[in-house]
Structure formats: structure tokens, C-alpha cells
Amino acid sequence: MYNPYSLNGKTILVTGASSGIGRATAIECAKLGANVVLTGRNVSRLEETLRMICDVSKHLIIPADLGDEAQIESLVEQMPNVDGLVNNAGISNTKPIGFIKPEDLEKLFGTNAFAPMILTKMLLKKKKLNNGASIVFVSSAASINPDVANSIYSATKAAIASFSRSCAKELAAKQIRSNSVHPGMVQTEMVQNLVFDEEELACDMARYPLKRYGKPEEIAWAIIYLLSDASAWVTGTQLVIDGGVLLA
């Protein structure tokens, strides 16, 4: 059956596959025929993701803390060659600018920006990214229009969006494409862990023209488009998926 969005025959590495957008991406990629390599820090949660995927024998779990360069190197050494890389793992920290500490910067930039940069570099250095591969960086709508008290997170996501565009230029000779997706608020554990009550969340949701937050699988489908041959002539783009909130 004709399907330009099929991932049959492709091997895809998904970071942060233990929850949220990463978990949804791994599951949806598998549904479309990909062999998925799942990585993250929490082994039991990665195994939980794997149990949600049909035909688990095709897929691989390689636990790694991407905040540790030695573990990134170990991950790359253990991996098969891949046709797609989803740099998704990330954390947040809501803090007004006047209260930012150096350790806040180190932690967020280390996880959200430096780790995907180093992972991408190591995959290239070890020749684990096949020619014609696609890289997708999960950035954020906050990189374009930051919220109050969200400056560090927004800055890290802007950094990887810029890095993605550099990858698109530098790797084009190998027909390796690089793009970023920029979600608005998505119903994930990261959102649930924010210090907001139900009334505050409802008020924030009302800012969105579509009057709701996104679902993890809605971001996953956009990522799959960028991984698939349907986007073979797409590189260096910043795809916003935000329920229209940037229109406000």
C-alpha cells in the first residue's frame, strides 16, 4: 500500500523515549515500520515504552544518561547505524531571571543543548548516521516567544534550533537532513509537574486559539513526517506545532 510516510526499513534512535513526546514518537515510529532504538536514563520506563510497541523483537533499548559524555559515547558504540535521529530528551526549570544560578544554566544547557550536540557529533564521527539520514531536534515554541520566568529553557531550545540549521547546511553534502519542531504546551509529565493549579492551567490553555494543549502523538506525527521520505526535500526548517498560540 502506497504510503510516503512509511518508515519501513529505517532504524530510528529516539532519546528521552521513556515518557512524553519521546515515548509517543517511539511508539508511532514503530507503527509505521521503523526499527526503534530507545534511550533514556530510566530502564524500567524504557521497558514500559517497549511493552507498548508491537513486535518488540525488532527494537532495542540502550539506557544512557545523556548528561554524561562517557555514556553518550557508550550509547553510540552499542548502536547500529541509523537512518533517523530524534533529539528529544529535555528538562525544564521555571525561574525568574533575577534568581538564576550558574548551576541552573549548567544543568539545562547540559541536558537540552550540549547533550544533543555531542550525541549528533559522535554519531557522525563514528559514521553511525547513514547517508540520507534525517535528524529532528525537539525545540519549543518558547524558543520563538519566551514566557516570563522561562528564560533558560527558552534559550536552550533556541540554541538547538540554531544548531539544527547549522547541521542542515554542513551535512547536506551527505544528503543528511536536519530540522527542528517547536511544540507549544503538550500534555506530558513535564507539564503536569509544573507548579500550576487547575485554574491556572485552564487560564493558560485559553490563550490557545484551539483551546487545548497538544497531545504527544500530535508532535510525534510531525516528527515522523520529517523522518520519512515525504520530507526528502525539507531541511533547515523550524516546524511550529502550537495550536496557534504564537498567533496571540
Residue numbers annotated as active site: 153
Q: How far apart are CA 64 and CA 122, in angstroms?
A: 14
Q: How far apart are CA 220 and CA 173, in angstroms?
A: 27
Q: Give the strand order in the sheet containing 35-39.
A: 60-61, 35-39, 11-15, 82-87, 129-138, 177-183, 238-241
Consecutive H or E run containing 25: helix 20-31
Burial class of residue 14 in the structure, from the number of CB atoms within 10 Å of its CB (0-12 exposed, 13-18 middle, 19+ buried)? buried
The residue assigned the cell 534559550 is 155
Q: Check: CB of residue 228 under 8 Å from CB of residue 7.
A: yes
Backbone φ/ψ region at 236: left (φ over 0), alpha (ψ -120 to 50), beta: left
Dihedral sign for Cα 10, 12, 18, 24, please.
Answer: negative
